[in-house]
Structure 1
Amino acid sequence: MIKNQERYDKTWKNRDPWTYDATKYQKELRASILENQCKSSDRYLSLRGRVMGQSLEAVDRLFPELPMSDNVIELLDSISQNLSTLQKGSNSGRIDITRQADYNRLLHSSEWSSVAVAYKKLQELYKKEFNTPIKMMVFDYEKGEKEVIMSPYDSVRYHKMILQAGMLVVDPATGYVKAWVGGVNHKYFKYDHVTMRRSVGSTIKPFVYTQAMAIANISPCQEFDDIQYTISPADSGFGLGEEWSPANAEERFSGKKFNLFQGLALSKNSISVRLLKEMGTVEPIRNLLDNLGIDKNLRLPNGQLAVPKVPSICLGAVDLTLLEMTGAYDAFANNGVYTQPVFISHIEDKTGKIIYRGTPVKKAAINALYNAAMVTMLQNNIGGSMGVKSSIGGKTGTTNDFADGWFMGITPSLVMGVWTGGDDKWIRFLSIYEGQGSAMAKPIVSLFIKKLEADPNSGYDANAKFAKPPRGYSELMDCAKFKSERKSTDMQMTEKQKAAREVFDEEF
């Protein structure tokens, strides 16, 4: 991550990510988020307690457990000046509708004037204190932390510009979690990036390709044109109201033909869209994800499906967690069998009696033949690019505006998932060269594997091999034979079409 941060700092030298290429609304939103971050800091909360403690305690005695956040106080202040109403506050979700009467009583009590005066004083002190440079410690990738002279406001801004990462390592056979890294430093960043939701980008494509083979009977050797494909409202299986014509990552199409090996290795969006069209609906992808531990019926707090019924999921336009993705990929390393990641193997009481045992859910999720084909494709993606001894496969992922860099890797005994990026999506690189998953996340897995291989006490077997492919694998993967048979079939179809035309002519 040191190199990632160095590249990021270089990219943004003399640039401001809070205003760069942003509309007026985006600038206001980003400034508001930064302000909220300042006001959620220990420094501000301590200041708030000192200045407003007595007035808020008085309110609590009259109206127990009445929420009195800064947001609520500012709304009440607007209402007191006839600039807003309690009903508008309830409709916008800023206050609890069941407490409207209490807020109304508060506004007409002597306690409100004390709160208003104290809050005004708090904001004055906040602006002064948070903009005054002082000596403090901040996070540093090389030293862990360093002493600087910086204003509290600038320190919050500085830490928001630190690139983050999450990593999960799982034994695919047992589901046991071998490593769980929620962030780069828990002292300064108390946020678990293993369980957060972010767009997964092209790491979703192996599931698309797997279902294309299993559901649409598409051969890994079958070739498709690298052109722009469109899914329209006329394609009834997708339920679209307007046409969807996505571009490749580089915004151009070569017009060349690519088989599944090449399409996945080059991460061609065009090929993924074509495969989805061949399946006729997104349901095969959603069903596979569901079988791999990603609940297709789960709804997010906003009411939307976590795995939406839209064609763009074939390109990774779906927010999933690193925990979900690593669990899903463990099936590839386990001959198609999904094993739920388990963090706690068992719990013993003081006498040594086991009072809890973590038993992972296991289920056959992918046909062993198509799973073996996908393992080969994932290995083909890597080639020798990672410089490790192990048999390894994987897939990178990069999202819009290079906000997220992913790498999902598999070896016969480990599945590794890495996410990298900024906590805010405008903390990002400005080019695909700098911000793609192969530059941000893949090197982390490479370094991890190399260290395991070099450590004789790690217990890691660099010579382990993936499961032996089942019968039919050689025929499935024989592209020379496929081309020969396809050419013969095409010639036969041409003759049939010619015969049909001749019959038609005779009848005419």
Structure 2
Amino acid sequence: MAKQKAKKPATKKPKKQQDDTRRHIKTFWKLFGVGILLVILIFLFASWGFFGSLPDETSLENPEKNLATEIISTDGKTLGKFYKENRTPVKYEELPDHLVNALIATEDARYYQHSGIDAKGTVRAAVFLGSRGGASTITQQLAKLFFTEQVSDNKLERAIQKIKEWVIATRLERRYTKEEIVTMYFNEYDFLNQAVGIESAASIYFDKNPSELTTAESAMLVGMFKNSSLYNPLRRPQLVKERRNVVLSQMEKYDYITESVKDSLQALPLNIQYTPQGHDEGIATYFREYARAFMADWIKENPKTDGSLYNIYSDGLKVYTTIDSKMQQYAEEAVDMHMKNLQKEFNSQNKKNKTAPFRDITKKETEQIMNSAMRRSDRWREMERQGKDKEEIIASFKKKVPMRVFSWTAENNAIDTIMTPLDSIRYYKKFLRASLMSMTPQTGEVKAWVGGIDYKHFKYDMVKTGQRQIGSTFKPFVYATAIDQMHMSPCDTLPNTQYTIEAGKYGLLEPWTPRNSGGKYGGMVTLKEALARSINTVTARLIDRVGPSPVIELVSKMGVETEDMPPAPSIALGTPDVSLYEMVGAYSVFANEGVYVKPTLIQRIEDKNGTVLFQNVPETKDVISDETAYVTVSLMQGVVQSGSGSRLRGTWRGGHLYKDVITGYPYDFKNPIAGKTGTSQNNSDGWFMGMVPNLVTGVWVGGEDRATHFRSTAYGQGATMALPIWAIYMKKCLADDELNVSDENFKRPSRLSIQTDCSQWKENNQETDEVPDELDF
């Protein structure tokens, strides 16, 4: 029998080794527990403010942020903003789904699964030292934007900042929904180029509201969250496109879009529509400056309930205006189109003018203009403030320096050059200026406001601030007074002969005998023909019949400032200085059946919560009867039918198609139009006031100085300088059916006792460019 193999006895760990293992395990768990406790303590210390103060509950729920004040057009477009930070918050409902999906797919794929801190992402980032992506959630990134300062280079300080972000992130998650957190993140991020928040970013980079963004556009903006300075679409478009395509790939990875959609979108260009929102850029810049001044005055008189004053740069007010963005755009386009051509002609005529850009003045008068301009300049005021003496200041104006100046022929209307400040003053003096204001006469709502040719370079507003001699555009007020007081008809006749008002009458120191332009006299003319041809002698007879004071009283009721208007008969030919703003308001009385409605630009003001703080109440006044208003309109229709405004009808010189001498464009209006041209002495100012039943528009063109003007009336009259702007603008407005600009007849009063149909008067359709429209004493 075989012998059985003996079993090897089982070995046991020595007791000492077992005790060491148990001790190590206990030590590990103690260290782990201490570590957990330390982490908890660190978070508690951070929440208690040991590492620096944290916002309290109120500031979390109502974070203090600078919110831009929005200037909003009557058709809902943002015209501009006043801001320290260009931020306008939007609601979650205004964010398109693909914009939110792009953010989550790229920045925080588990956004809806965590409570502010992504544990899985944090462990991954710690193990792989960030090489496989960071761990910051959208909530943490919002916390950093809201409450922490700039990222520190010091590792310890950065670690403390990170802890504070975690604490705040968890608080945010407890107090806000996921949708609210996403919305706050989009509203707070700085996309550069004055675009703070998604509303500004969508507007500035794509000229859209956030809700209108496409998937590709949304992906580009989300791509900027990684580093907007690096991924700046204006500086590094190719890099931005690559980053956008990464975002689109992430959207495809997480099934927000299909692979075919991703491929098609990645092939698209960026299609940036850069629309800057600086105070000097965009549309309605002159109007926005008016709105700023309006708000400054309103704020002083309307404090908050606690007695403090509103701040237009940080309180997020919404200012709803009467400006129509389309009409404003058409107005600015009309000014640009005509003034480029007009300036070209003006420069051509000045090539052989030794005193250019001035005419008809002496060398001493030129020096006075230049010296006065120097003393009014910002450079002079700044150097004077610094304590520089007069000689040193003047010397600085004669030293060449680099500068950027205005030019119609350059991109963005600006060129870089080197010249002396004194030369730049003379350079700017050569540019003709223009202004336009358009208003609904029945409501007083101002629809378009163009105060100059370029706000960045010419900040003086010629709509309301500037006042210029109005020439023959004053004559309808004289005619209206005669119709109102004496019941005169457009068909009544007066002699077209020289007329003298003797010295002593109306305080005249010497006899006043106005002359007709071109010395044309003879025969009897109807009032309609006299206004159409702007015959000075007839206007003189009329003001002598009614007296200057009643005319002044009339225009005062129409909103014109008359304090400095002398009761002299010469006002009949347009000697007073009046603003375009006043002229449009006054002419609106004629289109509005004799009722003056004060021009309105601000409809209402709301705070950031939508509470109405101001609501405009129209100011109205009965000035003349509806009959007098209609008859005056009938007179001004004659100006367009056969007088200096007849070029609007398209025919000229025996039925030939008229083409403007500057633009070469024919005007062929068929709808009823009433209007009046005006030209001041020496062709310094050109005016055109034009009306259709529901829109009154005035245009002024001239130089900064009255010595800056054309050499002849053919180019210097209102029919050539100002009327084309009105024509281009109205063509655009009438072609846009959404604007509802009337092409109907003016409303006829139910009771009309004054004859307006002068069928026995044979209209003269053989006018030439020598239209008697010049102011002549």
User: TM class by shorter-chain length?
Assistant: 0.7 to 0.9
Find 1:317's aligned residue among 575, 593, 618.
575
Q: What is aligned with 2:500?
A: 230
Query: For the structure 1 residues 464 and 231, does the alpha-carbon distance in structure 2 shift closer, same or farther, using more than 3 Å as the test?
Result: same
C-alpha distance in structure 2 between counterparts of 1:356 and 1:14, whole Å:
56
Q: Which one is further off, 187-196 or 151-160? A: 151-160
Q: What is aligned with 2:678?
A: 397
Are 1:21 and 2:344 an aligned pair?
no
Q: What is aligned with 1:253?
A: 520
CA contact (8 A) 2:586 2:596 kept: yes
Q: What is aligned with 1:146?
A: 415
C-alpha distance in structure 1 between counterparts of 2:504 and 2:395, whole Å:
60
Q: What is aligned with 1:465?
A: 745
Q: What is aligned with 2:593?
A: 335
Query: For the structure 1 residues 480 and 189, does the alpha-carbon distance in structure 2 shift closer, same or farther, using more than 3 Å as the test?
Result: closer
C-alpha distance in structure 1 between counterparts of 2:755 and 2:421, whole Å:
61
C-alpha distance in structure 2 between counterparts of 1:361 and 1:18, whole Å:
43
Q: Percent identity?
A: 37
Q: What is aligned with 1:207?
A: 477
| 1:386-431 Cα shifts (integer Å, max 9, x gaps) | 2234422100000000010001111111110111100100010111
Find 2:542's aligned residue among 267, 275, 288.
275
SS state at 2:647 partner = coil
Are 1:194 and 2:463 an aligned pair?
yes
SS state at 2:404 partner = strand
Q: What is aligned with 1:476?
A: 755
Instruction: Quote the offset at 1:337 in angstroms.
Output: 1.0
| 1:75-111 Cα shifts (integer Å, max 9, x gaps) | xxxxxxxxxxxxxxxxxxxxxxxxxxxxxxxxxxxxx
For residues 145-184 of structure 1, the aligned pairs below 5 Å read 145-184=414-453
Amino acid at match of 1:284: P
Instruction: Quote the offset at 1:155 in angstroms.
Output: 2.0
Q: What is aligned with 1:185?
A: 454
Q: Which has the greater radius of gyration?
A: 2
Query: For the structure 1 residues 321 and 368, does the alpha-carbon distance in structure 2 shift closer, same or farther, using more than 3 Å as the test?
Result: same
| 1:357-376 Cα shifts (integer Å, max 9, x gaps) | 22222112121112111111
Instruction: Quote the offset at 1:258 in angstroms.
Output: 0.8
CA contact (8 A) 1:212 1:275 kept: yes
Q: What is aligned with 1:218?
A: 488
Name which structure has the greater RCO, CA cutoff 8 Å, separation 6+.
Answer: 1
Amino acid at match of 2:552: R
Amino acid at match of 1:151: T
C-alpha distance in structure 2 between counterparts of 1:20 and 1:374, whole Å:
36
Q: Over aligned residue pairs, what C-alpha RMSD do you find? A: 2.3
Instruction: Quote the offset at 1:465 in angstroms.
Output: 3.4
Q: What is aligned with 2:507?
A: 239
Amino acid at match of 1:22: I
Q: What is aligned with 2:647?
A: 385
CA contact (8 A) 2:607 2:613 kept: yes
C-alpha distance in structure 1 between counterparts of 2:549 and 2:714, whole Å:
33
Instruction: Quote the offset at 1:18 in angstroms.
Output: 6.4
Query: For the structure 1 residues 121 and 270, does the alpha-carbon distance in structure 2 shift closer, same or farther, using more than 3 Å as the test?
Result: closer
SS state at 2:733 partner = helix
Instruction: Quote the offset at 1:213 in angstroms.
Output: 1.5
Are 1:264 and 2:531 an aligned pair?
yes
SS state at 1:258 partner = strand
C-alpha distance in structure 2 between counterparts of 1:481 and 1:18, whole Å:
48
CA contact (8 A) 2:406 2:457 kept: yes
Query: For the structure 1 residues 265 and 354, does the alpha-carbon distance in structure 2 shift closer, same or farther, using more than 3 Å as the test?
Result: same
Are 1:344 and 2:602 an aligned pair?
yes
CA contact (8 A) 1:228 1:253 kept: no
Instruction: Quote the offset at 1:461 in angstroms.
Output: 2.9
Query: For the structure 1 residues 482 and 119, does the alpha-carbon distance in structure 2 shift closer, same or farther, using more than 3 Å as the test?
Result: closer
Find 2:626's aligned residue among 368, 372, 385.
368
Instruction: Quote the offset at 1:233 in angstroms.
Output: 3.0
Q: What is aligned with 2:558?
A: 292
Amino acid at match of 2:467: R
CA contact (8 A) 2:504 2:510 kept: no
C-alpha distance in structure 1 between counterparts of 2:366 and 2:576, whole Å:
23
C-alpha distance in structure 2 between counterparts of 1:445 and 1:342, whole Å:
21
Instruction: Quote the offset at 1:137 in angstroms.
Output: 2.5
C-alpha distance in structure 1 between counterparts of 2:391 and 2:681, whole Å:
41
CA contact (8 A) 1:389 1:462 kept: no
C-alpha distance in structure 2 between counterparts of 1:140 and 1:423, whole Å:
16
Amino acid at match of 1:30: T
Query: For the structure 1 residues 270 and 149, does the alpha-carbon distance in structure 2 shift closer, same or farther, using more than 3 Å as the test?
Result: same
C-alpha distance in structure 2 between counterparts of 1:308 and 1:467, whole Å:
34
Q: Paired residues, what number? A: 397
Instruction: Quote the offset at 1:329 in angstroms.
Output: 0.3
For residues 40-119 of structure 1, the aligned pairs below 5 Å read 40-43=376-379, 48=383, 53=386, 56=387
SS state at 1:246 partner = coil
SS state at 1:335 partner = coil
Instruction: Quote the offset at 1:292 in angstroms.
Output: 0.7
C-alpha distance in structure 2 between counterparts of 1:337 and 1:314, whole Å:
22
Instruction: Quote the offset at 1:122 in angstroms.
Output: 4.4
CA contact (8 A) 1:336 1:364 kept: yes
Instruction: Quote the offset at 1:216 in angstroms.
Output: 2.3
Instruction: Quote the offset at 1:346 in angstroms.
Output: 1.2
Query: For the structure 1 residues 259 and 41, does the alpha-carbon distance in structure 2 shift closer, same or farther, using more than 3 Å as the test?
Result: same
| 1:33-62 Cα shifts (integer Å, max 9, x gaps) | 31342454445556x37xx83xx3xxxxxx
> Which segments of 5 or more consecutive residues in structure 1 lack a partner in the other structure?
57-114, 299-304, 484-508
Query: For the structure 1 residues 124 and 404, does the alpha-carbon distance in structure 2 shift closer, same or farther, using more than 3 Å as the test?
Result: closer
C-alpha distance in structure 1 between counterparts of 2:396 and 2:461, whole Å:
32
C-alpha distance in structure 1 between counterparts of 2:756 and 2:443, whole Å:
29
SS state at 2:517 partner = coil
SS state at 1:346 partner = strand
